[in-house]
């Protein structure tokens, strides 16, 4: 039997570039309210147009005797263009922000192809599941950005009393004009062996080769090209302690080409790492509830972070480490009581670098994060089909940048209310209240920009299944 699937997407959207709130060291105070807006409005002032096109073809062919051949190809292209406003720096008074007006045009094209063979067989009396195949990717990216003055003092606005609608400054500084091409070829082989009724092992090896070409089209700049080969092994064990409980461990190397160029025009070595994980998966309450937990450790080299001097560029942290524990729960306590939740403790820091101190925290990663959604759905009576729930989320404090000196985003707790009514098997109504207590907090950061979390929001929805 052969199955052929074709999918295509054409997406068009437009939106302003909202840089949130600034976090310069010289500011009088930090603002986290989403009501404060500093970045202008209007299609000629701040409007980005995003076009994305995708076509995908997949073929699945049953060869018989538990063997299957899969092949696929995917083509993507897109364009992001338009005007925006961003920050230059804070003036000496601690409240006047210098900005730059800019225009950008980013284009990308990506072609991916993959073919793999999957099959089951017996070898030396042991059951094997084999997956092997080839992958190829050709990624091309072009960027052009022109800006107004970058001086501290140009295109000013008061952070605490912003007045929009100033005359637009002249665009004359071409800060980015480059083209990048990355070709990747990979061959992989993986075998899962059932050593006995309870113990299975997974052995995998991937060979990857890439060629990276970068052309800087600005005057008096250098071009470069490079290539790398890597062997990437993976090992795993799963022990089925009972029908409901499995214990697993795995170790794997990782390898990823780093795209882009540094502020000095140099390329980056590929990101390489080694990760270990030990955990369990438990199906409780007659498989109504799934609980899993794991401890993990990962060490990576050449991880890209935003350049603290100029967020247009990135820098490679020499070596970073992440370790911690996670716990997840999902399913039903009773037929009416549904639950989804998780807790993660993560210790992520720089362990070796030429400029960053050992122990520097990685940006946007909280040590503790927690989320728990409880829903009660009435099973009978006049309220049958009505579901009421509450979702509680807690995120610990986080570093805004991976830098020696940076700002800290405070921890926050947000409560959401969830309700829905299954009117018919096909018609569902829902009414949700996000951030019911209207907490003000920083949700994430991008270099010296912090993005406020969503204020109290009421959402009404209707869904119908045909």
Element (H, E) at 434: strand 427-434
Q: Which residue has the higher pLDDT, 306 or 95?
A: 95
Give me the pLDDT at residue 432, please: 98
Q: Which residue has the higher pLDDT, 437 or 310?
A: 437
Distances (CA, A) of 72 to 8, 58, 118, 119: 13, 4, 14, 18
The ranges assigned to domains in the chain are 1-194
In tens, the pLDDT along 397-420 reads 999 998 888 999 999 999 999 999
Cα separation, 176 vs 144, in Å, equals: 5
- Biggest alpha carbon distance in the chain? 79
Cα separation, 90 vs 93, in Å, equals: 8
| Summary count for the chain: helices (H), strands (E) | 0, 24
274 burial type by CB count under 10 A (0-12 exposed, 13-18 middle, 19+ buried): middle
Where do the DSSP E strands lie in 155-270?
Answer: 157-158, 173-194, 199-216, 224-240, 245-256
178 pLDDT more than 90: yes
**pLDDT band, residue 331 (cuts 50/70/90):** very high
308 pLDDT more than 70: no
Mean pLDDT over each residue of the chain, to the nearest integer: 94
Give me the pLDDT at residue 311, please: 65
Where do the DSSP E strands lie in 16-95?
Answer: 21-22, 47-64, 67-90
Percent of the chain with pLDDT over 70: 99
CATH of the domain spanning 1-194: 2.40.170.20
Give me the pLDDT at residue 307, please: 76
Across the range 38-52, mean pLDDT stands at: 93
**pLDDT band, residue 395 (cuts 50/70/90):** very high
In tens, the pLDDT along 213-234 reads 999 999 988 899 999 999 999 9
Cα separation, 74 vs 76, in Å, equals: 7
263 pLDDT more than 80: no
Across the range 174-186, mean pLDDT stands at: 96
Angle in degrees, CA 19, 21, 25, rounded to 5: 120
Give me the pLDDT at residue 288, please: 96
Percent of the chain with pLDDT over 90: 86
245 pLDDT more than 70: yes
Give me the pLDDT at residue 315, please: 80
Which tokens sit at 396? 């610990």
Give me the pLDDT at residue 43, please: 85
State the CB neighbour count (10 A cutoff) for residue 450.
22
Give me the pLDDT at residue 248, please: 98
**Whether the Cβ atoms of residue 291 and residue 285 lie closer than 8 Å to each other:** no
State the CB neighbour count (10 A cutoff) for residue 402.
26
Residues 6 or more apart whose Cβ sits within 8 Å of residue 327: 291, 292, 293, 342, 343, 344
426 forms bridges with which residues in the sheet? Answer: none
Cα separation, 440 vs 456, in Å, equals: 9
377 pLDDT more than 70: yes
Residue 363 DSSP class: B
pTM metric for this prediction: 0.91
**pLDDT band, residue 355 (cuts 50/70/90):** confident
Element (H, E) at 387: strand 386-395
Cα separation, 256 vs 78, in Å, equals: 22
Across the range 383-409, mean pLDDT stands at: 95
- The total number of residues shown for the chain amounts to 466
In tens, the pLDDT along 104-134 reads 999 999 999 999 999 999 999 999 999 999 9
**Whether the Cβ atoms of residue 367 and residue 344 lie closer than 8 Å to each other:** no
50 pLDDT more than 80: yes
457 forms bridges with which residues in the sheet? Answer: 434
């Amino acid at each position: 039997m052969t199955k052929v699937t074709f999918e295509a997407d054409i997406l068009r959207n437009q939106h302003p570039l909202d840089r949130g709130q600034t976090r310069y060291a010289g500011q009088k105070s930090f603002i986290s309210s989403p009501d404060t807006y500093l970045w202008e409005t209007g299609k000629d002032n701040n409007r980005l147009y995003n076009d994305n096109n995708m076509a995908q073809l997949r073929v699945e062919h049953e060869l018989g005797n538990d063997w299957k051949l899969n092949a696929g190809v995917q083509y993507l292209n897109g364009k992001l263009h338009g005007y925006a406003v961003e920050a230059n720096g804070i003036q000496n008074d601690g409240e006047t922000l210098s900005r730059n007006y800019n225009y950008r045009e980013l284009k990308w094209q990506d072609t991916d192809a993959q073919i793999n063979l999957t099959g089951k067989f017996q070898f030396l009396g042991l059951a094997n599941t084999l997956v092997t195949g080839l992958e190829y990717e050709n990624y091309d990216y072009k960027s052009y950005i022109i800006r107004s003055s970058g001086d501290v003092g140009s295109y000013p606005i008061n952070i605490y009393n912003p007045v929009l609608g100033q005359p637009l400054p002249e665009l004359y500084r071409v800060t980015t004009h480059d083209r990048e091409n990355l070709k990747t070829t990979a061959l992989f082989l993986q075998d899962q062996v059932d050593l006995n009724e309870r113990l299975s092992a997974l052995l995998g090896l991937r060979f990857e080769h890439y060629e990276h070409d970068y052309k800087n089209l600005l005057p008096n700049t250098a071009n470069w090209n490079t290539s790398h080969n890597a062997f990437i092994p993976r090992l795993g064990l799963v022990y089925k302690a009972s029908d409901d409980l499995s214990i697993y461990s795995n170790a794997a190397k990782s390898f990823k080409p780093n795209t882009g160029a540094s502020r000095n025009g140099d390329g980056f070595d590929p990101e390489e790492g080694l990760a270990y994980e030990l955990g369990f998966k438990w199906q409780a309450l007659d498989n109504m509830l799934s609980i899993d937990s794991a401890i993990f450790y990962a060490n990576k080299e050449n991880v890209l972070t935003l350049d603290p001097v100029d967020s247009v560029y990135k820098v490679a942290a020499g070596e970073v480490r992440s370790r911690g524990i996670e716990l997840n729960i999902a399913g039903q306590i009773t037929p009416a009581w549904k639950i989804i939740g998780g807790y993660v403790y993560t210790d992520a820091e720089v362990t070796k670098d030429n400029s960053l101190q050992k122990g520097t925290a990685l940006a946007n990663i909280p040590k503790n994060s927690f989320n728990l959604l409880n829903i009660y759905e009435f099973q009978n009576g006049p309220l049958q089909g009505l579901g009421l729930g509450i979702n509680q989320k807690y995120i610990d404090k986080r570093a805004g940048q991976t830098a020696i000196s940076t700002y800290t985003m405070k921890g926050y707790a947000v409560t959401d209310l969830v309700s829905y009514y299954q009117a018919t098997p096909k018609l569902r109504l829902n009414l949700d209240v996000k951030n019911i207590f209207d907490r003000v907090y920083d949700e994430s950061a991008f270099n010296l920009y912090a993005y406020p979390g969503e204020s109290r929001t009421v959402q009404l929805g209707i869904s119908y299944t045909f």
